[in-house]
Amino acid sequence: MQFTTQIPIQKSSYPIDYNSRVVSLGSCFAVNIGQKLDYFKFTNTTNPFGILFHPLALEKFIAFAVNGKTFTEGDIFFHNERWHCFDAHSDLSHPYKDILLQNLNSAATLANA
């Protein structure tokens, strides 16, 4: 009895090796894959803007990274004693505006490295 479905997958023309730089974006699945890559010492970045589920949020983040977006005060807002950004997960929110801006800009730079 076979309890799995065999799916034929062709070998990639661009396999991942230890010289590759990998970015994992998305849900907790991306976090788990990123942890595995870390464990096996691959160069990888996982969800620099936190977990983002919606495809448009992911598209926006990728555009920020590719275009070298610099976050300013106009991109953030203050609510419930913390500074937030609608374009990043609340894990990045911070009580200090300058630190949030620094973290957002570092995340965009890291994703483009």
Mean pLDDT, residues 35-63 = 92
Overall pTM > 0.85: no
Please, which residues bridge with residue 44 across strands? 22
Place of tokens 């950004």: 85
The number of residues in the chain equals: 113
Mean pLDDT, residues 29-39 = 95
Between CA 92 and CA 58 the distance in angstroms is 16
Place of tokens 């983040």: 61
Please, which residues bridge with residue 85 across strands? none
Place of tokens 């949020």: 57
pLDDT at residue 53 greater than cutoff 90: no
Structure tokens, 50: 């936190």
